[in-house]
Amino acid sequence: MILKSSRNQLKNSIRRTFSVLLQNCNDLVICLDLDLCIIECNNAAAKVHRWKRDEVLNKNYMELCLKSGFTNPISFDPNKILLGKKITNHACTFIHTDKTEHTIVWTITRLLNDKKEPYGLLMVGHDITDIKEAWAQVYHLDSIIKHAPGLIYYWKDRNSVHLGCNNSFAELAGLKSCEEVVGKTDFDLPWKSQADSYRKDDQQVIESGKPKSNIEDLLIAADGKPRIVVANKVPLRDIEGNIVGTLSTAADITQLKEAEQATLEAKNKAEIANQAKANFLATMSHELRTPMNAIMGMAQILLRQNPTQEQQECIDIIRNASLGLLSLINDILDFARLEAGRLEISSERFNLYELTHAVITSLQHQLDHKPVKLSLNYSDDTPHYIILDSRRVRQILINLTNNAVKFTQEGEVKVSVTCPEQTKNSTTIRITVTDTGIGIPSDKLEQIFERFTQVESQYSRRFEGAGLGLSISKQLIEAMGGSIGVSSILGEGSSFWVEFPIKISDQIAKQNTLPILDSDKANLFAIKNPQILLIEDNLLNQMVAKSLLEELDCRINIASNGKQALQLFADGNYDLIFADIGLPDMDGLTVTKEIRKYKGEKANIPIIALTAHVLQEDRENCLNAGADAVITKPIMPEELKMTLKRWLGKKSVKKVKLILD
């Protein structure tokens, strides 16, 4: 039996031990009497309140807090607690004068004596300041995830059971709140028909431990409307790194896809419209070029029949009007090609000197009634044979020279071809067209290369034109890697220059002596009076071609259709064939292919295709069928002469595929 004195010693020992534990406890402990004066407090409570323990004993707790400057550190009704109501999780924040904060969660209960009578209050507080900051971050992140606009978040356990989601996902699934998704699977949601596929994706991520990205899918939302989403899934890991499920994010790209589809449809419609416009213009160009060939050809024939002065003037009007119309047709067709993004640039070997000489010669007649001299200066150190797009170079040169002639009433138009820079295999060719015409105002120099731009106003201008030539020329030059510029003085004249970086043909890199462009018909061909087969169904075009060829001392046989052409070819012996592409029974391409089936020398006869079609694919079709060259109608005398010399001349070179415009 334990003596009473021993029990008292044990109790005192326990009290001392409890006091030691109390003072070293991390939680805040404060004992108050019925007047809310401090009976006892531990070191943790004193530290948080910034008190000295011995100085605050027996002092009123609330008065001390107010004196220390705390803002409402605690608010409770002591009487309710004394009647038996325990307060738990009562949070308050101490804000010190230095702005330091401590957030305490209190549990407050009454102290009873042996008679079960209350004699005070026990306050036990837990400092959650650090935890509060962590939870604030979690709450902040949770708020971002829940309210993220446009982004969908959801996470699942290893069995693809949903553990949570954000508002976007809940709305997509037709749920009233994010909490409703907990415990559900995709089989319980509007897209249950795709649940198996989603589960397989989840398991793949869990088993591999690797993310799965850019999963595009079509699903039906709760409102019955289809949604296109792109999802990314990553493994969801616990604090030890174990995979406990999947975390997914998704973006609703329905509107983006609809916009892309609308853009694609609009693009397709625009391309169809552009193609229809291009086809229409190509057809119109063909239909206009065919009669123009007859008009310009007949004017050329009339000029060779010693017309009177009055007749000469009428013929000049017809010819100049035809050339103007042809230039306009070419510009409109090129404009349509540029708009449709179908600009055609080729690369071929050609004689630049012969080309510039032919252009100058073809434009010379425009100056018959003007006191203007048109000249060509081709420098000795400039290569003759270069590799570039001859058709486009011709077009640019005609545009620039024709403009200079049009705007010059007296004086001179000079075309210069020089070589400012040259290496072994490449060089820079500079073409300059200088005139003494009306000039261009300085404030208009930048505008002249814009489409439909003219220096003069619509109703006061003295010179005709659509305002397309310079714009198209600039785009063609830049497409070939070149550049164009202009300088001008109003009333004194203008100078347009074009530069091309080009490759020099390895066959003839340079000639110091300019070639003589033979005008003597007797010396033009290696064969005297060459025999020509002309395949052409249009009577007027037959007359034009026959007259031009006979002027060059050629002997002509004419076939009006493909069948007749093949028969004449089989029975005769010809030096060259001109074949129109459009024939009533079989097209000229078929006739060309049939001729190429012959063996021996007959199969190697030069065939020049004649066509009013001007698209690159039309030219390629002619060459692929077996034609050696293509001439576009209307046929110009200088071009015809140059073509004949190339294929029947004394100094003929190895055959190459060539395109003449």
- C-beta separation of 611 from 580 below 8 A: yes
CB 415 within 8 A of CB 435: no
**233-273 pLDDT, tens per residue?**
999 887 778 888 888 888 888 888 888 888 888 888 877 87
- What is the pLDDT, as a whole number, of residue 531? 92
The pLDDT assigned to 398 comes to: 86
Residue 473 belongs to a domain with what CATH number? 3.30.565.10
Which of 342, 375, 405 is at the close of a domain? 342
The answer to whether residue 5 sits within a structural domain is no
Co-location of 654 and 540 in the same domain: yes
Annotate 469-504 with DSSP letters as a single string: HHHHHHHHHHHTT-EEEEEEETTTEEEEEEEEEEEE
Name the strands in the sheet holding 101-112, side by side, starting at the edge strand that comes first in the sequence.
Answer: 38-41, 28-33, 118-127, 101-112, 87-95
**Hey, what long-range contacts does 160-164 have (CB within 8 A, 24 or more apart)?**
160/185, 160/186, 160/198, 160/199, 160/202, 160/203, 160/246, 161/185, 163/245
Question: 212 pairs with which residues across the strands?
Answer: 233
* Domain end call among 469, 504, 539: 504
Weakest-pLDDT range from 4-8, 316-320, 354-358, 513-517: 513-517
β-bridge mates for residue 93, sequence order? 103
Tell me if 259 is assigned to some domain: no
| Token digits of residue 563 | 């069948």
How high is the mean pLDDT of the chain?
79
Query: What is the gyration radius of the CA atoms in the chain, in angstroms?
Result: 49
CA distance 429 to 480: 12
- Per-residue pLDDT band at 414 (split at 50, 70, 90): very high
Per-residue pLDDT, averaged over 134-158, amounts to: 65
Specify the range with the lowest mean pLDDT, choosing from 95-104, 253-262, 413-422, 493-502.
95-104
Strands 212-220 and 658-660: unpaired
CATH number at residue 231: 3.30.450.20
144-158, 228-242, 310-324, 643-657 — most confident range = 228-242
Give the side-chain half-sphere CA count within 13 A for 606: 23
**Residue 433: helix, strand or coil by DSSP?**
strand
Mean per-residue pLDDT, 8-28: 72
Residue 2 covered by a domain: no
* Judgement on whether residues 245 and 347 belong to the same structural domain of the protein: no
CB neighbours (10 Å) of residue 635? Answer: 21
Q: How many domains does the chain have?
A: 5
pLDDT at 463 over 50: no
Is 262 contained in some domain? no
Looking at the structure, do residues 301 and 385 belong to the same domain, yes or no?
no
From the list 23, 24, 133, 124, the residue with the least C-alpha distance to 74 is: 124
Confidence check: pLDDT of 72 > 70: no
Residue 173 is part of which domain span? 133-252
Give me the pLDDT at residue 325, please.
Answer: 76
What does the alpha-carbon distance between residue 410 and residue 575 come to, in Å, rounded to a whole number? 45
Question: What's the CA gap between 582 and 283, in Å, rounded?
Answer: 13
Helix (H, G, I), strand (E, B) or coil at 251: strand
The DSSP bridge partners found for residue 372 are 411
- Own/partner long-range contacts of 96-101 (Cβ < 8 Å, ≥24 apart): 96/50, 96/68, 96/69, 96/70, 97/69, 101/129
**What pLDDT sits at residue 56?**
86
Is it the case that residue 584 has pLDDT exceeding 80?
A: yes
**Greater model confidence, 93 or 143:** 93
Q: In Å, what is the CA distance from 487 to each residue of 170, 375, 433, 490?
A: 69, 20, 11, 10
Q: Are 169 and 146 in contact (CB under 8 A)?
A: no
The predicted pLDDT at position 652 comes to 41
Residue 379 lies in a domain: yes
Strand partners, 580: 610
pLDDT tier at 459 (50, 70, 90 boundaries)? very low
Using CA atoms, how far apart are residues 580 and 533, in angstroms rounded to an integer? 11
Q: In DSSP terms, which residues pair with 426 in a beta bridge?
A: 503
In a domain, 511, yes or no: no
Q: Which of 105, 127, 149 is the last residue of a domain?
A: 127
Residue 491 has what pLDDT? 86
**Res 5: pLDDT:** 62
Whether the per-residue pLDDT at 578 is higher than 90: the answer is yes
Are residues 495 and 352 part of one domain?
A: yes
| CA separation for the pair 393, 384 (Å, rounded) | 14
Q: Three-state SS for 283?
A: helix
245: left (phi over 0), alpha (psi -120 to 50) or beta: left
Residue 572 vs residue 504, higher pLDDT: 572
Per-residue pLDDT tens digits for 532-549: 999 998 888 888 888 888
In a domain, 296, yes or no: yes
Give the chain's count of helices (H) and strands (E). 18, 23
Q: State the pairing for strand pair 426-435/493-504.
A: antiparallel
The pLDDT-based confidence of 4 (bands split at 50, 70, 90) is low
Which residue would you say has higher pLDDT here, 93 or 643?
643
pLDDT for residue 430 is more than 90: yes
pLDDT of 229 over the 50 cut:
yes
pLDDT of 93 over the 50 cut? yes
In CATH, what number is assigned to the domain containing residue 644?
A: 3.40.50.2300
Around Cβ 136, how many Cβ atoms within 10 Å? 10
**Strand intervals (E) in 253-310:** none
Closest listed residue to residue 637, CA positions, set 295, 290, 296, 288: 296
Do 527 and 614 lie in one domain? The reply is: yes
The model's confidence at residue 275, banded by pLDDT at 50, 70 and 90, is: confident
> What is the percent of the chain with per-residue pLDDT over 70, rounded to a whole number?
82
- Strand 411-422 vs strand 372-378: parallel, antiparallel, or unpaired? parallel
358 with 471, same domain: the answer is: yes
| 418 and 289 inside one domain | no
The pTM (predicted TM-score) of the whole model is 0.44
What pLDDT, on a 0 to 100 scale, did the predictor assign at position 139?
52
Whose structure tokens read 């000229």? Answer: 588
pLDDT tens track for 102-143: 778 888 888 888 888 888 888 888 887 776 655 555 455 566
Statement to judge: residues 562 and 650 lie in one domain = yes
Lowest mean pLDDT among 115-119, 518-522, 650-654: 650-654
Share of the chain above pLDDT 90, in %: 13
Sequence-separated contacts (24+) of 57-66 with Cβ below 8 Å: 60/35, 60/36, 61/30, 61/32, 61/36, 61/37, 62/36, 64/38
Residues 271, 354, single domain; the answer is: no
- Mention every residue, 6+ apart, whose C-beta is less than 8 A from residue 309: none
Residue 365 shares a structural domain with residue 468:
yes
pLDDT, greater one: 651 or 590: 590
Measured between its terminal Cα atoms, the distance across the chain in Å is 133
Instruction: Look at residue 651 in the predicted model and tell me its pLDDT.
Output: 43
Of 38-47, 196-205, 516-525, 615-624, the one with minimum mean pLDDT is: 516-525
Q: Model confidence at 10, in pLDDT bands (50, 70, 90)?
A: low
236 shares a domain with 272: no
Q: Is residue 8 part of a domain?
A: no
Q: Are 72 and 93 in contact (CB under 8 A)?
A: no
Q: Are 301 and 637 in contact (CB under 8 A)?
A: no
Q: What is the CATH number of the domain that holds 320?
A: 1.10.287
- The pairing of strands 531-535 and 576-580 is parallel
Together in a domain, 297 and 442: no
